[in-house]
Amino acid sequence: MTMDNQQKSVPHRQRIATADTDQFYQSEQSLQQRVDSSMAHQEIDTPFHFRHCCWFCQEPTEIRLLFPANKERLKDCDHQAISLPICRECKSLVRSSQSDNIWQCREQVKKALAKRYQKDLAIGKNWTKNELANAGFEGGSFEGFAKSGWEMFEIARDRVNFSGWPLWCNGDQIVDTTIGKQFVFDGVTYADIDQAIDFYVKTYALHRDFFFACINIVTIERFAYAIRYARMFVGCTATERRTALQDLKAAD
């Protein structure tokens, strides 16, 4: 995935497998020490074909997330204390103190993943697979991007899109409280419409308030049209944007 220049040459799957540094284990140990050892975290039921997968993003995993981390947080949690598989990267993104249940926790992790891999996800918005393969970058400084760019996009997209599996624990189902909030557009699942707006604002350098106003006029059902319209006025003055919104209202 897109990281610093030194890591770009290391395949994503390999980086996951070689993340076990002394420094990481020290931080992992520190996290575990903060978990209330007197709590009984019950393991969730995991389907056989997901037995080695992170519940958040489907990456390979060998560690567990204990949620919530302590009895104080359990008071505000609307389900029992659970243990579920998670990859090291997703665990580094968990902010359990800001989550009242595991679904809110997943929502925050998904947003953090999408933000971290914004550039990778943007590949699929600016290119098609065939366009990238036939871009004529052979022998140039972008040759590596042409060869691996689409795979980077697909890995990021699939991790963000993965919804986990239904959570059952001791015969009881933990009901998903985020149903209806997610927004799916152009093959990518966003935690909510605000995340989708933020993604396209950053990807296409849109004026956020102007883009938001466009969506309000044409409605979410015409999200693609709102993107196209907002892109036509990147870099325009405030007066030009106001006129553009008036024109959009008149035409709608």
pLDDT digits (tens, 9 = 90+) for 117-127: 999 999 988 88
Residue 200 has pLDDT above 50, yes or no: yes
Spatial distance between the Cα atoms of 123 and 126, rounded to a whole number of angstroms: 5
Q: Is 43 helix (H, G, I), strand (E, B) or coil?
A: strand
pLDDT of 5 reads 45
Give Cα 249 to chain centroid, integer Å. Answer: 33
200 in the Ramachandran plot: left (φ > 0), alpha (ψ -120 to 50) or beta?
alpha
pLDDT of 143 reads 65
Give 76's pLDDT tier (boundaries 50, 70, 90): confident
> Mean per-residue pLDDT for 200-211?
96
Among 155, 173, 191, the domain boundary falls at 173
pLDDT of 35 reads 52
**164 and 190 in one domain?**
no
| The pair of three-digit structure tokens given for residue 236, joined into one six-digit string | 């325009």
Beta-carbon neighbour count of residue 46 at 10 Å?
16
Among 143, 173, 203, the domain boundary falls at 173
**226 and 159 in one domain?**
no
pTM, to two decimals: 0.74
Give 23's pLDDT tier (boundaries 50, 70, 90): very low
Q: Provide the domain limits for residue 244.
A: 182-252
Give Cα 3 to chain centroid, integer Å. Answer: 16
**136 and 20 in one domain?**
yes
CA distances from 73 to 79, 84, 105 (A): 11, 17, 13
**111 and 29 in one domain?**
yes
Among 151, 173, 195, the domain boundary falls at 173
**231 and 190 in one domain?**
yes
**144 and 33 in one domain?**
yes
Q: How many domains does the chain have?
A: 2
Rg of the chain taking only CA atoms, in angstroms: 21
